Amino acid sequence: MAAVSLRKSNARLPPEVNRVLYVRNLPFNISSEEMYDIFGKYGAIRQIRLGNAKDTRGTAFVVYEDIYDAKNAVDHLSGFNVANRYLIVLYYQPTKMSKKSDVKKKEEEITRLQEKYGLGSKTPSSSTSA
């Protein structure tokens, strides 16, 4: 109902709002069907991707067909209790997600340049022995 009233009033949405949601703190054993049951109540879902690697377990991406459905889901499901875990539902922001990989790339680039120019990568703390 709230999403319908938003559409009719042509309300402007904040810039971070989009159709893709990033969900954290999921139970590791949650199934895709359970995810569709929980998130499908708020609108048509295009895709759900559950994390299955060691570092992505307990996370998922939920893509809605409509941006207002995604906003409705965030408003209602943030803090929702699933198997004694409180969900963290955020709008996916690619710039924040890519920062982690950018740091690794920069570290690799620094190491490559240090080797290229023969600079030692020793730090003062690593030269002392205990």
Confidence at residue 23, expressed as pLDDT on a 0 to 100 scale: 96
Average pLDDT over the chain, rounded to an integer? 84
| Helix axes 67-77 and 2-9, enclosed angle (nearest 10) | 140
The whole-angstrom separation of Cα 14 and Cα 92 is 13
Which is more confidently placed, 52 or 95?
Answer: 52
Placement of tokens 């600079």 in the chain: 119
1-16 confidence digits (pLDDT tens): 455 555 555 678 887 8
Quick one: what percent of the chain has pLDDT higher than 90?
Answer: 54
- On whether the CB atoms of residues 49 and 61 are closer than 8 A, the answer is yes
- Residue 130 identity: A
Confidence at residue 12, expressed as pLDDT on a 0 to 100 scale: 83
Number of Cβ atoms within 10 Å of the Cβ of 93: 14
Query: Considering the entire predicted model, what is its pTM?
Result: 0.68
Confidence at residue 11, expressed as pLDDT on a 0 to 100 scale: 73
